[in-house]
Structure formats: C-alpha cells, structure tokens
Structure 1
C-alpha cells in the first residue's frame, strides 16, 4: 500500500499502467463474494435458527447498526461545528465545477418501497444481478427453514453447505496470496489519477473527516468491545489490520467480506453461525463511515454557502443519513445519498462535484471504518450470546 502510494505520487497518471493488477484482484474477490454470502448466510441462519436466541441476535444486530450509525452522524455534526471546515473556503476558480445536475438524484425510496425492494421475485435473478439485500432476505429465510427440519434430514444438507463454506475459505486464502500486488496496483492508480492537488480545496474537511474516523475506529468501537465483550480491544485492533488494509485498497465492504469473516472466526474466535449472519448483513447496511461523511459534508457545504442550520435541519441530517444507509450496496463509487442528506436539510447541492473527484479516497477511508464496525458487532453479539448460553 505504501509503495503503491509513493509510485502513484511519483508517476502521476502514468501509474494507471498498474491498474490491471488491482482490477484482477478485485475480480477474483468479487468472483467469490456472492456465492460466499449465499452459503454463509444459509449456514449462519440455520445455526441461529436452531437456537432460542435467533430473534434476539437479529434484533440486537440491527439495533447495533442503527444506533452506531446515528452516533456517527452526531459525532460528524459536532466535529463540523467545532472545527468549521467550510468556513473561509476560497470558491474563486472552482465555480466552474458547480452543478445542479445531481438535484434529481436525492430521492430516497419510501418505507414500503424499501421493504418491497428487499423481497426477491426471482432469487436466481437476484444472484445474477448481485442484489445483496434480496440475497440476504432469501438466504436468511431458507436457512431458518432448514433449521426447522428434523435433524436426520437437515444435517446432511447443512454438512454439505458448511463444506462449501470451507472450500470458499480455501479459495479466498489462495486469492489473498496475490493481495499485495492487487493493493499496490489499486493504490498506485488511485493516487496517480487523483493526486493530492485536488485536496487543497477541501483539505480542512478531509483532515476533520480523518480525525472523526480515527476517533470512531480507534476509540469508540474499542470502548464498546471493552464494555460489552470479553475480547481485548488491543487484540481486536491488531486483528483488524488485515481487513482494514483490504478495505482501504478496494473501497468495498463486499470485496473485504471474505477477509473480515476469516479474521473474525480465526483470530477473534467468533462462532461461525454469528459471523455468517452478522458480517454479510453489516457489509450491506452498516455504514458508520458513510454516516460520518454525510454529516460532515452537510456541515461543510452549509458553512461554505453560509446556511444557518437549526435543530430541525440537524435532526433531518441524522435521520436521513442513518435510514438511508439501509440498502446502500457495499461497493465503491460516488454515493448520491449525500444529495438526499443535503436536500433534507435545505443545503445547496451545486458544490458536490468538488467532492466527487475525491470520492474514491473518502470511500477508501470510510469503508475501513464500516468493516471495523461490522467486526465489532460480531464480536459483541457473539460474546453476549455466549454468556447467555453459559448462564443457562
């Protein structure tokens, strides 16, 4: 990663010659992600479904994701008001970048539309189109259904599914041997393409954003680990170095999922049933890093365009950023949810193109936090579930 950053900075746009290394690595990971999610969720749901705590695990997981996302937006708003990244920004020379072309991209689906969109009408089409939320819903349902069958009928099938999971893990381990080359190619291309000059306009926003991410990733999540699990926060952070490196380079929670699952099960000793349920779900809907980004960007543009935010606007930002994360695919690319957040708070959106050129760099950093939150949830849920079984 470090060598790729240096090469990208030195070679500039010519560093794009290394892009195929990154693309091949991403393709190899993506080749495994959808099959892994399907079999892992079925296995995890079947394991949880046979226990009495299945419902509690589901509610606790969703509650954790929702609460931590809301706290993340709150932290972003506080950091934005303290450091004021949008004040004193010189807009001369960048007005040409302003555009209202994204104004119609901020519509969020309503509650019932979101629920309908989660239910597949053709599960094979969902698999083909990599609609992760629909795959999750079907596989959860199917896994729980398997757990309700009599033992003699379900055990052979579950053994087969678990064997597929083990085979997928072996394939992932083989792919990870070329990870250093892939990470080098991705970093060289990203730094060479976008450079550091574009950061000058939004440098204060970027610095505040990184500080907020570090506070959340290295203070907030470890504090939760310390308070609600038996795992050492130091051990947790040490184990997360590998998936965080992959997340930084790929900017994709989904592409990082196989590595996150491996680390949680092998190094953090999270049960397979818990990891298989929590982590794919988290890679789809747990976006604390995105929530921090949306909150800070809202404050940044409000300050830049001298818009006074009242209590109603802050509430709108928190609700829109938290609820909007559900259904956001864990893949890289410019996020138009930020448009919905700005519109909800009455903040001008024409300055957004200033950030889209750098979205990859922001995306890399927030993805590393997202997968850290997924792993923290898995560790905490598994520990609480284990304690309940021990008490019983």
Structure 2
C-alpha cells in the first residue's frame, strides 16, 4: 500500500516541488545506505566470529554429522536455485536498466561518505580467524569483548536500522516510480516471489525424500506433524522463536530426545536453505533486470561462502539478507540500489524462508537419529508415548 501510494503520487508530474521532495527522499536513502555500509563489516565480524566460537564449543559426537548435513543441504539449495534461475529467469525477466532502478535523474541534495572500518572480505576473514581461534583456545577476555560488540550491533539494528528499513525500501520504490519503471519492477518482484516460494516447497519435499531413502522408510508422513512448527515460523519469522514447537514436532515424529534436543536448536542456527534459495534466485533476477549475466563461475564461490555466512543470520534481526549483504556486494558486485532491492525482496518473503528452514531441520534430525541408532547397533527407535524432559534419554 505504501509503495503503491508513492508510485501514484510521484507519477503525477515532475514539477520543481515534487522533484525537490524526491531529491529529499533520495538524500535519506543515500545517507541510510552509507550508514548501512559502515555497519555491515562490524556486523559480520561480531556475529560470525561469535557464532563460530559458540559452535566450536559444542564438542558432541553428533555435531560434525549435523554440521555436514546442514551445510550440504544449504549448498544443494543454493545450486538448485541457481540452475532453476538460469533455466527460467531468462524467459521471465526483462532488463529495465540499472539507471531506472537507481533513479539517477533525482540525485540526493547532499551526500556524506561513511567509510567502513575495514573492507567486507577483510571483516569476513578476520571473523573466521577470531571465531575459530576462540573455539579452540581459552580466550574469555576476547570472547567477552566480541559478545559486547555483538550486543552493540544488535542495539543499533533494533533501534536504528530495522525501524528505518521500511522507509528505506519505500524511498527506493519512490525513486523507481519517479523514473517511470515502478510497474516493470513490481512485475519482476512478483515473478521472483513465485519462483522462490515454489522452489522452497519443492525443496522441503526433496529433503524428506532423502530422509526416507536414508532411513529406508516413509518420512513424508512426518510433514503433518510439522505443520504447527511451519505455521509458527510464518508468524514469528524466527527460527529461534520456533524451537519449542519444532522440538514438539520432532518428538511427535519419533526422534530420540538426545538427538532432537541437540539437532533442532543447532540447525536453527546453521541450516538456512530457505534463505539461500531466496538470496540466490533473488540476486540472479535483480542482476538480469540490470542487464547483467549471472554466471556459474560467479555463483559457485558465492554459494559456498553464503552457506558459511548464514551462521550469523539467526542472530540478526531482519533475517539472512543482513548477514549476507556483505558478500552480495563484494562477490556479486551489487551497488547500493541493487542491495536495496534484494533487502526488499528478502523481507517480503522472510516468513516463508524461515518456515522452509525449520521444516528442513526435521529432515536433518531424522537422518541424524538414524545414524545415531546405527552407530549404537540398536534397533530403530520406537516413538515415545510417555512424556520426557528435555534432558532425559530413552532407556535402552
């Protein structure tokens, strides 16, 4: 509604008064974008470093298996999105030009350059070094400092960036509307939205097909017990907030207590296939709309790096796009206006991406449960009929 009102308003005429107002909006968008660029490297450093350090502390036999399955699933989702996009998007997308997207006919009244403390890739490498080091060394002082930095970034996100993002997106579409390209842009968004949602649903079915083949039994029946968690994720837009419902769904599907109590919370942090599908397909569509060609050579390293960067996503209000924005800019070459569009696209479908994530967690839990049983040389577990606590283990 807000975007539509901007479109109709700014399409009236290019009188000096309207041009001045649009330039004022362009100034806000420019300043906010500069501040966002300044914050992203700090966000990556704090969230990725702390996330890797905390993962490293979970010295559990099942950790490596769960990590491999979650990362592999995320990577497969990324490549599935790329190949679907390279097949369908050229037929669905049409280039509207980067100039129209940027709205360059309405320059900001003034600009302020806010240079980041360090480049994005430097931030990412430093986060890996610090995170892995903190995971293997006893460095409480450094860990406390990084957690304090993380809390500061969270405060900035919650009090400044997240509240202003809707106005940032509306300003972006106002510039597009003033350029006369609002309808083509909305059409592109609608096509991308449908492609992303359909692939997310198909990928959920694929994950449970793999789980069924691995366990040599029908795990598709689990989906009916996962519906409460799916709809909870649609409402909360948070994998972490959905964990209690996800644990109940795993219990209803017969996943052993020790496995579900470990795998479900862990996968809520590291398994983000839904976000990966959105970011891969969405970025490809935006590139094509700008007349660029997303090649496999460009996306192979991006997808592998995206799977790692997603570790930071659950701790970032607003979803995976905030954590991934750094590599989207550095590896795909997105400019400020293209970043505005990928943020808008991701936020519009974040609920479904989160629901895809937590549903896939159940398939990973089913596979880990089977591997755990096999390693113990036990018969497959029988679904518990009695109530057990979070720390209890079914007696053998």
- Shorter chain as denominator, the TM-score bin is 0.5 to 0.7
Name stretches of at least 5 consecutive residues in structure 2 with no aligned partner: 6-53, 152-165, 171-182, 380-396
1:276 CA drift (Å): 1.4
1:378 CA drift (Å): 1.0
User: Residues 117 and 340 of structure 1: is their aligned pair in 2 closer, same or farther, counting only changes over 3 Å?
Assistant: farther
User: Residues 106 and 301 of structure 1: is their aligned pair in 2 closer, same or farther, counting only changes over 3 Å?
Assistant: farther
The count of residues paired between Structure 1 and Structure 2 equals 280
Q: Secondary structure at the match of 1:357?
A: helix
Aligned to 2:331: 344
Aligned to 1:87: 93
Deviations 1:86-129 (A, max 9, x none): 73154686533999999969545222133246687378999999
Aligned to 1:121: 140
Structure 1 segment 238-253 matched on structure 2, within 5 A = 238-253=224-239
For residues 376 and 200 of structure 1, the distance between their equivalents in structure 2, rounded to whole angstroms, comes to 34
Q: Which has the higher contact order (CA 8 A, sep 6+)?
A: 1
Equivalent of residue 67 in structure 2, options 62, 71, 87: 62
Q: Secondary structure at the match of 2:318?
A: coil
Equivalent of residue 267 in structure 2, options 256, 273, 282: 282
For residues 103 and 350 of structure 1, the distance between their equivalents in structure 2, rounded to whole angstroms, comes to 18
Aligned to 1:212: 199
User: Residues 212 and 117 of structure 1: is their aligned pair in 2 closer, same or farther, counting only changes over 3 Å?
Assistant: farther
Q: Is the 8 A contact 1:64 1:377 kept in 2?
A: yes
1:302 CA drift (Å): 2.3
Aligned to 1:144: none
Please say if 1:258 is aligned against 2:244: yes
Q: Is the 8 A contact 1:221 1:373 kept in 2?
A: yes
TM-score under structure 1 length normalisation: 0.61
For residues 375 and 102 of structure 1, the distance between their equivalents in structure 2, rounded to whole angstroms, comes to 43
Aligned to 2:352: 365
Name stretches of at least 5 consecutive residues in structure 1 with no aligned partner: 1-7, 13-40, 132-189
Please say if 1:109 is aligned against 2:124: yes
For residues 272 and 126 of structure 1, the distance between their equivalents in structure 2, rounded to whole angstroms, comes to 33
Deviations 1:229-270 (A, max 9, x none): 2553332111110101011111100000111011102x1111
Aligned to 1:236: 222
Which 4+ stretches in 1 moved above 6 angstroms?
97-103, 122-131
Name the Cα RMSD after superposition. Answer: 3.8
For residues 128 and 240 of structure 1, the distance between their equivalents in structure 2, rounded to whole angstroms, comes to 36
User: Residues 279 and 130 of structure 1: is their aligned pair in 2 closer, same or farther, counting only changes over 3 Å?
Assistant: farther
For residues 290 and 341 of structure 2, the distance between their equivalents in structure 1, rounded to whole angstroms, comes to 14
Please say if 1:226 is aligned against 2:212: yes
Q: Secondary structure at the match of 2:262?
A: helix
Aligned to 2:373: 386
Q: Is the 8 A contact 2:211 2:219 kept in 1?
A: yes
TM-score under structure 2 length normalisation: 0.60
Larger radius of gyration: 2
